[in-house]
């Protein structure tokens, strides 16, 4: 799209910009497609997406939106900008600093039951073998039926657990009791918040400084 050539990007430290400047919202949304065609140099400016309660929508993977989606949501009025990069995106009629942290205006309920997937089982078990308690990479973990399928065990949240391959081999076609192998934790269906908590143990490699407060300071304080 030719519109793209009308956009340019610069990094201006401490460049003040706010909604009070009166952007031409309609024009921005109309030419939004033009932004998407100029992405060079901006690939590393995602926004951390917080729910309306200022907690990340997801910890693992961390809820990040590409800057294009972020700008679109800002101009559609769906999110508040909490923090910004110094990078400014320009169009012929307006400019805006790229948001680094945004929060949804409308709370997104997080209490849906998590999907029963291999990944979510590993996440629930924090990528740790539930027999020997050793942390493994996802590639080295296996999916163990606590009560083996040959003995009527089902593939459900409360009968499947993460196990390293050597524990899985050793346990073989036996129950934990028969194998003399104790489970660290009995497998249970996790709630969405429990799964979120497990995900918090895995910070991504790159954290923008403006994200840190929302990742590390949002745990509830115990009343005392």
The one segment of 54-62, 103-111, 123-131, 169-177 that binds Zn ion by CB under 5 A: 123-131
Q: Which two tokens stand for residue 44?
A: 């590393």
Is 123 a binding residue for Zn ion by CB under 5 A? The answer is no
Q: Which two tokens stand for residue 111?
A: 């209490």
Compute the least distance from the CB of residue 137 to Zn ion, in Å. 13
Output 39 or 159, the one with its CB closest to Zn ion: 159
* Cα diameter, the chain: 73
Is 127 a binding residue for Zn ion by CB under 5 A? The answer is no
Choose, by CB under 5 A, the member of 3, 36, 66, 132 that binds Zn ion. Answer: 132
Residue 167: how many CB atoms within 10 A of its CB? 21
The one segment of 154-162, 165-173, 190-198, 208-216 that binds Zn ion by CB under 5 A: 165-173
Is 164 a binding residue for Zn ion by CB under 5 A? The answer is yes
Is 141 a binding residue for Zn ion by CB under 5 A? The answer is no
Q: How far apart are the C-alpha atoms of 43 and 47, rounded to whole Å?
A: 11
Kindly report the three-state secondary structure assignment for every residue of 136-194.
CCHHHEEEEECCCHHHCCCCCCCCEEEEEHHHHHHHCCCCHHHHCCCCCCCCCCCCHHH
Output 9 or 127, the one with its CB closest to Zn ion: 127
Count interface residues toward Zn ion (CB under 5 A).
5
Identify the bridge partners of residue 79 per DSSP, sorted by sequence position: 104
Output 127 or 211, the one with its CB closest to Zn ion: 127
Q: How far apart are the C-alpha atoms of 164 and 118, rounded to whole Å?
A: 14
Choose, by CB under 5 A, the member of 129, 160, 162, 198 that binds Zn ion. Answer: 129
Choose, by CB under 5 A, the member of 131, 160, 195, 199 that binds Zn ion. Answer: 131
Identify the bridge partners of residue 141 per DSSP, sorted by sequence position: 164
Of 224, 128, 122, nearest to 167 by C-alpha is 128
The one segment of 1-9, 52-60, 109-117, 160-168 that binds Zn ion by CB under 5 A: 160-168
Binding mask 99-118 for Zn ion (x = CB under 5 A): --------------------
Is 167 a binding residue for Zn ion by CB under 5 A? The answer is yes
Task: Answer yes or no: are the C-beta atoms of 35 and 7 closer than 8 Å.
Answer: yes
Q: List residues near Zn ion by CB under 5 A.
A: 129, 131-132, 164, 167
């Amino acid at each position: 799209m030719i519109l793209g050539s009308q956009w340019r990007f610069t990094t201006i430290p401490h460049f003040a910009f706010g909604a009070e400047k009166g952007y031409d919202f309609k024009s921005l949304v109309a030419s939004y497609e033009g932004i998407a065609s100029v992405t060079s140099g901006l690939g590393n400016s995602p926004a951390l997406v917080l729910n309306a309660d200022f907690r990340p929508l997801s910890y693992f993977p961390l809820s990040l939106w590409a800057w294009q989606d972020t700008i679109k949501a800002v101009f559609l009025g769906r999110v508040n900008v909490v923090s910004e990069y110094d990078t400014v995106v320009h169009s012929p009629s307006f400019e805006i600093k790229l948001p680094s942290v945004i929060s949804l205006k409308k709370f997104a309920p997080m209490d849906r039951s998590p999907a029963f997937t291999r990944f979510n089982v590993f996440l629930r078990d924090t990528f740790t073998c539930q027999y020997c308690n050793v942390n493994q990479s996802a590639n080295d973990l296996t999916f163990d039926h606590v009560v083996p399928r040959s003995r009527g065990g089902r593939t459900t949240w409360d009968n499947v657990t993460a196990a390293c391959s050597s524990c899985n081999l050793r346990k073989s076609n036996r129950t934990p009791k028969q194998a003399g192998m104790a489970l660290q934790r009995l497998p249970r269906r996790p709630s969405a918040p429990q799964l979120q908590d497990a995900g918090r143990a895995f910070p991504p490699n790159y954290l923008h400084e403006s994200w840190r407060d929302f990742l590390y300071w949002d745990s509830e304080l115990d009343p005392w």
